[in-house]
């Protein structure tokens, strides 16, 4: 990682996001399978499609910048997904585990909200308006995914969990 200019920093943020999205893409099928609630499984499955599109957007951005996608790992996302994996592996009540999976997934969404928010702002500041727009699109999707998880927790999953 080089940090000599705002352009270096934008590139670092984009590579961090790329590593995060790749890890999320691998983890989502396991989360979908682990969900007891069909509605939750559906949210995870839909987010897999979204994640693929977000990776496509990042590919477009790297192409525009003439830079390679690789070069950063994202240890934070490793830790975040490890926490999700621990819940999947745990014995327990299916409804309570669903509520736990939602809480873990919302931490993942919030990581991405912070990451896309920072990258979007740096792109704007560098005058890369098309790149900023692509990042804003993914940021909006992450906010919407977080809202969907929230609504599902409040409308269904937590009540199930409280009654067990």
The size of the interface with a copy of itself (CB under 8 A), counted in residues, is 53
The minimum distance between CB 158 and a copy of itself, in angstroms, equals: 5
The minimum distance between CB 45 and a copy of itself, in angstroms, equals: 21
The minimum distance between CB 87 and a copy of itself, in angstroms, equals: 7
Query: Three-class SS string for the chain?
Result: CCCCCHHHHHHHHHHHHHHHHHHHHHHHHHHHHHCCCHHHHHHHHHHHHHHHHHHHHHHHHHHHHCCCCCCCCCHHHHHHHHHHHHHHHCCCCHHHHHHHHHHHHHHHHHHHHHHHHHHHHHHHHCCCHHHHHHHHHHHHHHHHHHHHHHHHHHHHHHHHHHCC
Q: Which of residues 100-129 bind a copy of itself (CB under 8 A)?
A: 100, 102-103, 106-107, 109-111, 113-115, 117-118, 121-122, 125-126
Question: Does residue number 140 form part of the binding site for a copy of itself (CB under 8 A)?
Answer: no
User: Residues 31, 34, 80, 152: which binds a copy of itself (CB under 8 A)?
Assistant: 80
User: Residues 56, 68, 130, 159: which binds a copy of itself (CB under 8 A)?
Assistant: 159
Q: What residues have CB less than 8 Å from 141, skipping those under 6 apart?
A: 50, 54
Dig out the tokens for 151 from the structure.
Answer: 């609504």
Question: Does residue number 36 form part of the binding site for a copy of itself (CB under 8 A)?
Answer: no
Nearer to a copy of itself, 32 or 121 (CB): 121
What sign for the dihedral angle of Cα 19, 75, 43, 88?
positive
Write out the residues near a copy of itself by the rule CB under 8 A.
Answer: 1-6, 8-9, 12-13, 16, 74-80, 82-83, 86-87, 90-93, 96-97, 99-100, 102-103, 106-107, 109-111, 113-115, 117-118, 121-122, 125-126, 153-154, 158-159, 161-162, 164
């Amino acid at each position: 990682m080089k940090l000599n200019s705002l352009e270096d920093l934008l590139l670092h943020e984009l590579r961090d996001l790329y590593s995060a999205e790749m890890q999320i893409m691998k983890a989502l099928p396991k989360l979908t399978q682990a969900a007891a609630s069909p509605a939750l499984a559906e949210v995870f499955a839909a987010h897999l499609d979204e994640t693929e599109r977000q990776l496509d957007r990042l590919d477009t951005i790297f192409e525009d910048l003439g830079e390679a996608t690789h070069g950063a790992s994202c240890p934070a996302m490793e830790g975040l997904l490890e926490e999700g994996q621990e819940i999947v592996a745990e014995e327990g009540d299916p409804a309570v585990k669903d509520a736990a999976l939602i809480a873990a997934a919302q931490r993942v969404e919030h990581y991405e909200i912070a990451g896309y928010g920072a990258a979007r702002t740096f792109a704007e500041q560098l005058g890369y308006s098309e790149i900023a727009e692509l990042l804003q699109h993914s940021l909006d999707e992450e906010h919407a995914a977080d809202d969907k998880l929230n609504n599902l927790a409040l409308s269904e999953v937590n009540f199930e969990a409280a009654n067990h």
